[in-house]
C-alpha cells in the first residue's frame, strides 16, 4: 500500500528536484537543439511533423520521499529515475486527460495516484521551452480497499479522470477506480502573511515588552504550494466495475457507468444517485452484453451515448423517461460476411466512444478499427479507419494471449479533423479525416531524441521487408498504447506507454 | 491480464500447458498456409473450444471475474459450439471413441455445466447486490454441493477435452470447482441440468422470512470465517 503523500512544496526555480525531468539540466532528452530543425512534410504524414517535447516518468515513491534531501543525494536519485528497473507496476499509467484549456494534464496510475502536469509558461528568452509540461501536483486519489461482504479486494487503479471546467482559481477533477468516484480540488497557495506583531519570523511568540512599534501584516509571495483535497466521495453505487465517467454540459451533474448500469449524480449530493440505464437481465444466465463506455453530449445536457460489447452504440435522451432503457437511436453496422469468424463479436466490442467537439459525430474504437458515426445515420458509420488490419490473421493467437481483449482509447483533435488511437509495439496512429492521410508513430525511449522529428513507422505485412519496416511477427504485444490525449486547441498530444508519459508537439505549431 | 485470488503456481502450470497445447495447433493460423481440408478445420474448432473453456474457467475462478471478458468468452464458446454440433465430430482423443450421439450429449451437458457455473457466479454477484430480492434458498440443495452435469460421472463431459490441457479437468466436472467453496453459494443451481436453471428461488421462503434467512446466512458465514464450523451444507429453514 502506498503511503499517503503530503501536499507538495514546489519551487518555481530551476532547481526543482527530480520531478521535473523536462528541465534541460536534468534530462538530456529535452535539451533544446541549437537551431530548430528544418520543417519537413513527408508524404503521407497526415498532420505535419511531430517532435518529442518531453518524456516524463511518473515518479516512484522513492523519488518523492527523497525530495527533501540535499543536492548530492538528489543527483544520485536522479539516475535512479532514469533506470527503468525501478519503475514498479504501480506506476503504470492507466488514464491521461488534458483539462479544458490544455494548461493542465492529469495522469492516473495503477497505484491509485494522480499526477498533474502544468504547461511551462511561455517566455521570450526561452521560446523553445514552451510546450513542456512539469509536475504540478501529485496525490494519492484511491487506496486499495477490501470488500468484506464479498471477500474481494477493490483495486486502487484509476480507471478514468475527467476535469471540470474552471469556475474559479481552483481546479476540480473527478477520478474513479472500479467502485468509487472522487471529486478533487487542486488549489494554489503562493502568498503568506508576514509581519505579525506578536510572532517572530519563526512563529515563536514574542515578549510583548520588546514590541516598540506596530505594523500591519502584509501578504508576501511565497514559493508556490499546490494542495489537493478530496471534496466529495461518491461511493457504494456500483456493483460492477466502473469503466467511464462523464461530466455533463450543465456542470451540475455527471454520470458513472459500470458493466451493467449507468448512474447520474449531482456534484453536491454524494449519498444518492439516479440509475438511468440498467441492462442487467432478470436472469443473469441471459447476460450476453455489457456496457463498455459512456459519454454525455458536449452541448445537450439531456443526451448521452453508451457503447456495448456487441459493437452497438445507443443514444439516449433523459427527457424521454427516467430510466433510459429504451434508446432514442441505435447505431450498429451490419456484419461483413466475408470477415466473419469466431472472433467477430470480440473484435466488434467497442472499447471507447467519444463525441466530437462539435457534437455532430461520435467516434468508436473496436479492436481493429476506429469508426466515425454521424448522429443522424444509424445504420453504418460514415468513416472507418483500419488501425492494424494486419492483426486480422493473428486473431487466434491474440485470443490465446488475451491481447484481443485490450481496450484501446481514441481521441479527437481540437478541430475534429484528426483522430488518434494507440496500437502495439508502442505505436500510435493518426488519421486525418480531410486528407485521408494517416501516419504511424512510435513512443519509445530508443527512438526519440529530444526535439528530433518523429519518424513515421510502417509495418510490413508479408513479402519483402524494406529497411525501415518492422514485420508483424516482430511486434511487441506487451508494449501497448492504450491511453492518449490531445490538447483541446493545439497540436500537442500526450501518449502513455506503461509508466512513461510522452508529450509530442507538431513542429509546425 | 492480472487476476486476483488465484493460486499462482496453478496459473503458471495452466499457462504452460495452454502454450504446449496450442503450439501444435497454431499452424493453421498462418494465413499463407495452403487451403486446409475440412478435417483439420474441425480439429481447429475443437482446440479453440478447449481454449475457450479454459479461459472461461480461468475467468470464473477469479474472485471477481471481469464481466466483459466473461461474456465475450461465453459468447465465443457458444459460436464455436454451434459450428461444431452439426459436424458431430470430436477431436480424436486416444482414450475414448467419439460417437455422434454422445458428442451432442457431451457438448450439451458441458454447455449446461458451463452455463450453470457462469450463471451461479453471476447469480452470486446479483444475490449479494440485490438486497431487495428474496434470498436464495439454501434449503434447496442437490445431493451434494457439487455440480452434476447431465453426463455420467465416468465420462465427466470435460474429461474429453484435450488431455494436454487437462490439468484442471482430470477429475472431471468436480475438479472444476475445487477452488470454489460451493457450499456457500446457492447450491440450487448445481442441480442436474434437466431441472433447468431457474431464475429465482422455487418454493423458497416468503418475503416475511427474508430477514430471518439473511441472519442465518450471515451467522453461518461468520462461523465459517471464525472457523468454528467446518465447511458443510449450510443450515436452512425447513431442515
pLDDT tens, position by position, for chain A (509 residues)? Answer: 433 433 333 333 333 333 333 332 222 222 223 333 223 333 333 456 888 887 877 654 333 333 333 334 334 333 333 334 445 788 899 999 999 999 999 999 999 999 999 998 876 666 655 678 999 999 999 999 888 887 888 999 999 999 999 999 999 999 999 999 999 999 998 888 888 888 887 878 888 888 888 999 999 988 889 999 999 999 999 999 999 999 999 999 999 999 999 999 999 999 999 999 999 999 988 999 999 999 999 999 999 999 999 999 999 999 998 888 889 999 999 998 988 899 999 999 999 999 999 999 999 999 999 999 999 999 999 999 999 999 999 999 999 999 999 999 999 999 999 999 999 999 999 999 999 999 999 998 876 677 778 889 999 987 777 888 999 999 999 999 999 999 999 999 999 998 899 999 987 64
pLDDT for res A251: 95
Would the CA dihedral through A81, A87, A90, A96 be positive or negative? positive
Q: Tell me what pLDDT residue A150 has.
A: 79
Walk across the sheet containing A253-257 and list its strands: A244-247, A253-257, A261-266, A269-278
What pLDDT band is residue B73 in, cutting at 50, 70 and 90? Answer: very high
CB under 8 A, 24+ apart: contacts of A461-469? A461/A390, A462/B32
- What is the C-alpha to C-alpha distance for residues B189 and B115, in angstroms, rounded to an integer? 10
Contacts of A241 in chain B (CB under 8 A): 66-67
Are the beta carbons of B76 and A290 separated by less than 8 Å? no
Give B65's pLDDT tier (boundaries 50, 70, 90): confident
Nearest C-alpha in B relative to A348 = B72
pLDDT for position A203: 79
The confidence score (pLDDT) of residue A425 equals 95
Task: State residue A195's pLDDT score.
Answer: 86
Higher pLDDT, A469 or B231: A469
The rounded distance, in Å, linking the Cα atoms of A380 and A332 is: 6
Enumerate the residues of chain B whose CB falls inside 8 A of the CB of residue A292.
Answer: 68
**pLDDT confidence of residue A322:** 85
pLDDT at position A126 is: 60
Task: From B53, B69, B172, select the one nearest B122 (Cα to Cα).
Answer: B69
Grid cell listed for A322: 427516467
Does the CB of B128 have a partner CB in chain A at under 8 Å? yes
pLDDT for position B40: 62
**What is the enclosing helix (H) or strand (E) of A191?**
strand A181-194
pLDDT at residue A487, as a whole number:
96
Q: Is 70 exceeded by the pLDDT of residue B158? A: no
Statement: residue B234 has pLDDT above 80: no
Element (H, E) at A232: strand A218-234
Query: Which residues in chain B are closer than 8 Å to A149, comparing Cβ atoms?
Result: 128
Is A504 in contact with A52 (CB distance < 8 Å)?
yes
CA distance A396 to chain B (A): 7
C-alpha A477 chain-centroid distance: 21
CB A456 within 8 A of CB A447: no
Q: What residues in A contact B30, CB-CB < 8 Å?
A: 393
B54, closest residue in chain A (CA to CA): A400
Cα A456 from chain centre: 23
Q: Is residue A406 within 8 angstroms of chain B, CB to CB? A: no
Q: Residue A5: CA atoms inside 13 Å, Cβ hemisphere, count?
A: 29
Q: Is B49 exposed, middle or buried (0-12, 13-18, 19+ CB in 10 A)?
A: buried
A282 touches chain B (CB under 8 A): yes
In a mutational test of the B interface, the residue from A287, A463, A477 whose CB has the highest number of chain B CBs within 10 Å is A287
pLDDT of residue B45: 80
Amino acid at each position: 500500500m502506498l503511503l499517503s503523500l503530503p501536499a507538495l512544496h514546489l519551487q518555481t526555480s530551476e532547481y526543482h528536484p527530480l520531478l521535473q525531468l523536462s528541465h534541460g539540466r536534468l534530462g538530456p532528452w529535452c535539451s533544446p537543439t541549437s537551431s530548430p530543425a528544418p520543417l519537413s512534410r513527408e508524404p503521407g504524414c497526415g498532420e505535419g511533423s511531430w517532435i518529442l517535447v518531453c518524456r516524463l516518468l511518473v515518479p516512484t515513491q522513492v523519488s518523492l520521499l527523497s525530495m527533501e534531501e540535499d543536492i548530492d543525494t538528489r543527483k544520485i536519485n536522479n539516475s535512479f529515475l532514469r533506470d527503468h528497473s525501478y519503475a514498479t507496476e504501480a506506476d503504470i499509467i492507466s488514464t491521461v486527460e488534458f483539462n479544458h484549456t490544455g494548461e493542465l494534464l492529469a495522469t492516473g496510475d495503477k497505484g491509485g495516484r494522480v499526477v498533474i502536469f502544468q504547461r511551462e509558461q511561455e517566455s521570450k528568452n526561452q521560446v523553445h521551452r514552451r510546450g513542456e509540461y512539469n509536475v504540478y501536483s501529485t496525490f494519492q486519489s484511491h487506496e486499495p480497499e477490501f470488500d468484506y461482504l464479498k471477500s474481494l479486494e477493490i483495486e486502487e487503479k484509476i480507471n478514468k479522470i475527467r476535469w471540470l471546467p474552471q469556475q474559479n482559481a481552483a481546479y476540480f477533477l473527478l477520478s474513479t477506480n472500479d467502485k468509487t468516484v472522487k471529486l478533487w480540488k487542486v488549489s494554489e497557495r503562493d502568498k503568506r502573511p508576514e509581519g505579525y506583531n506578536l510572532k517572530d519570523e519563526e512563529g515563536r511568540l514574542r515578549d510583548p515588552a520588546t514590541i516598540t512599534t506596530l505594523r500591519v501584516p502584509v501578504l508576501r509571495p511565497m514559493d508556490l504550494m499546490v494542495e489537493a483535497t478530496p471534496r466529495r466521495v461518491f461511493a457504494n453505487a456500483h456493483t460492477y466495475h466502473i469503466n467511464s465517467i462523464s461530466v455533463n454540459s450543465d456542470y451540475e451533474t455527471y454520470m458513472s457507468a459500470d458493466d451493467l448500469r449507468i448512474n447520474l449524480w449531482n456534484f453536491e449530493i454524494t449519498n444518492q444517485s439516479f440509475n438511468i440505464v440498467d441492462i442487467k437481465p432478470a436472469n443473469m444466465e441471459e447476460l450476453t452484453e455489457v456496457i463498455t463506455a459512456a459519454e454525455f453530449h458536449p452541448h445537450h445536457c439531456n443526451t448521452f451515448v453508451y457503447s456495448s460489447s456487441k459493437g452497438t452504440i445507443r443514444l439516449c435522451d433523459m427527457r424521454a423517461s427516467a430510466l433510459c432503457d429504451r434508446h432514442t437511436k441505435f447505431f450498429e453496422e451490419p456484419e461483413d460476411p466475408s470477415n466473419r469468424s469466431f472472433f467477430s463479436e470480440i473484435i466488434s466490442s467497442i472499447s471507447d466512444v467519444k463525441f466530437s467537439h462539435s457534437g455532430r459525430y461520435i467516434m468508436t474504437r473496436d479492436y481493429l478499427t476506429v469508426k466515425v458515426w454521424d448522429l443522424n445515420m444509424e445504420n453504418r458509420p460514415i468513416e472507418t479507419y483500419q488501425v492494424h488490419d494486419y492483426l486480422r490473421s493473428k486473431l487466434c493467437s491474440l485470443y490465446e494471449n488475451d491481447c484481443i481483449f485490450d481496450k484501446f482509447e481514441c481521441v479527437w483533435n481540437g478541430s475534429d479533423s484528426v483522430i488518434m488511437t494507440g496500437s502495439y509495439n508502442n505505436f500510435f496512429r493518426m488519421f486525418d479525416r480531410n486528407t485521408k492521410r494517416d501516419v504511424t508513430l512510435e513512443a519509445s525511449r530508443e527512438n526519440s531524441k529530444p526535439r528530433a522529428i518523429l519518424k513515421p513507422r510502417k509495418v510490413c505485412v508479408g513479402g519483402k521487408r524494406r529497411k525501415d519496416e518492422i514485420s508483424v511477427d516482430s511486434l511487441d504485444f506487451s508494449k501497448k498504447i492504450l491511453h492518449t490525449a490531445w490538447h483541446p486547441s493545439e497540436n500537442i498530444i500526450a501518449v502513455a506507454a506503461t509508466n512513461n508519459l510522452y508529450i509530442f508537439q507538431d513542429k509546425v505549431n | 491480464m492480472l487476476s486476483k485470488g488465484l493460486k499462482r503456481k496453478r496459473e503458471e502450470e495452466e499457462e504452460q500447458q495452454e502454450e504446449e497445447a496450442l503450439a501444435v495447433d497454431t499452424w493453421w493460423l498462418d494465413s499463407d498456409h495452403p487451403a486446409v481440408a475440412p478435417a483439420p478445420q474441425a480439429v481447429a474448432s475443437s482446440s479453440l473450444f478447449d481454449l475457450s473453456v479454459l479461459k472461461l474457467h480461468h475467468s470464473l475462478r477469479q474472485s471477481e471475474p471481469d464481466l466483459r471478458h466473461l461474456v465475450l468468452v461465453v459468447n465465443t464458446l457458444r459460436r464455436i459450439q454451434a459450428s461444431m454440433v452439426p459436424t458431430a465430430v470430436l477431436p480424436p482423443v486416444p482414450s475414448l471413441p467419439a460417437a455422434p450421439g454422445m458428442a451432442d450429449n457431451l457438448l450439451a451437458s458441458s454447455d449446461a455445466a458451463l452455463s450453470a457455473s457462469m450463471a451461479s457466479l453471476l447469480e452470486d454477484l446479483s444475490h449479494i447486490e440485490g438486497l431487495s430480492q428474496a434470498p436464495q434458498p439454501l434449503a434447496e440443495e442437490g445431493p451434494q454441493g457439487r455440480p452434476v452435469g447431465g453426463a455420467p460421472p465416468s465420462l465427466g463431459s470435460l474429461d474429453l477435452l484435450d488431455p494436454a490441457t487437462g490439468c484442471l479437468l482430470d477429475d472431471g466436472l468436480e475438479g472444476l470447482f475445487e477452488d470454489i467453496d460451493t457450499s456457500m453459494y446457492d447450491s440450487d443451481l448445481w442441480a442436474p441440468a434437466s431441472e433447468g436453471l431457474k431464475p429465482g428461488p422455487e418454493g423458497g421462503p416468503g418475503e416475511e422470512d427474508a430477514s430471518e434467512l439473511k441472519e442465518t446466512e450471515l451467522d453461518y458465514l461468520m462461523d465459517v470465517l471464525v472457523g468454528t464450523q467446518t465447511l458443510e451444507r449450510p443450515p436452512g429453514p425447513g431442515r
